[in-house]
Amino acid sequence: KIVLKKEDVETGDLVLINQKHTLKSKINNLVFFDEKYKNIKLNDNANYALHLILDNINAKNEIVPVSGYRTLGEQKNIYNTSLKENGRNYTQKYVALPNASEHQTGLALDFCIYKDGKCYIEHDVEDKIETKWIHQNSHRYGFIIRYPEGKEDITKYSYEPWHLRYVGNIASNIYNNNLTLEEYKDKESIK
């Protein structure tokens, strides 16, 4: 059993960022995904784990991150643009408020599937075999599907099959017990 201290929930790979728990600590250890995707930054642990997944299944050109770390300014822009283009209802389901976005930690990423000359993104990845593999196996590399289907009342966001979150060693525990990060936090002893 893993016992967490209260301060561990606000730092490191286990940081809980959502509408109630906003970003409080400075972000460190960001690296570029690779030479080809220099616009994508991730936490170094998340980056290493993502490369392991892609190398092990030989999918570097088929499964690629399209969004990783975001600055506060980038998140503000994404949120405000979504409000204007999609309205409040959609935005509240899919776009985090500034300082309430996991992307600001560098531990979260959105991916797309390149197949048949097309980039499948967001809900277009849902039925792809590559996405199903990622959903069933990414926990072995420290990732979880952060906003799983059927858990919208807990995460407060709609199902996002394209959104991975690096949590490290607890990923398999979360996956095997069908938990969200919020549920995991509530189940574990936090002192």
114-160: pLDDT as tens digits: 888 888 888 888 888 889 999 999 999 999 999 999 999 999 999 99
Contact residues for 77 (Cβ-Cβ < 8 A; gap 6+): none
Which listed residue (7, 126, 160, 183) is catalytic? 160
pLDDT of residue 189: 45
Is 160 one of the catalytic residues? Answer: yes
Distance, in Å, from the CA atom of 142 to the CA atom of 78, rounded to the nearest integer, reads 27
What confidence tens digit (pLDDT) does each residue in 33-76 have?
987 777 899 999 999 999 999 998 888 788 889 999 999 999 99
H/E stretch holding 159? none
Tell which residue, 110, 113, 78, has the closest CA to residue 97: 78
What's the pLDDT score for residue 6?
Answer: 59
pTM for the model:
0.89
- Asked if residue 162 lies in contact with residue 125, where contact means CB atoms within 8 angstroms, the answer is yes
pLDDT band at 24 (very low <50, low <70, confident <90, very high): confident
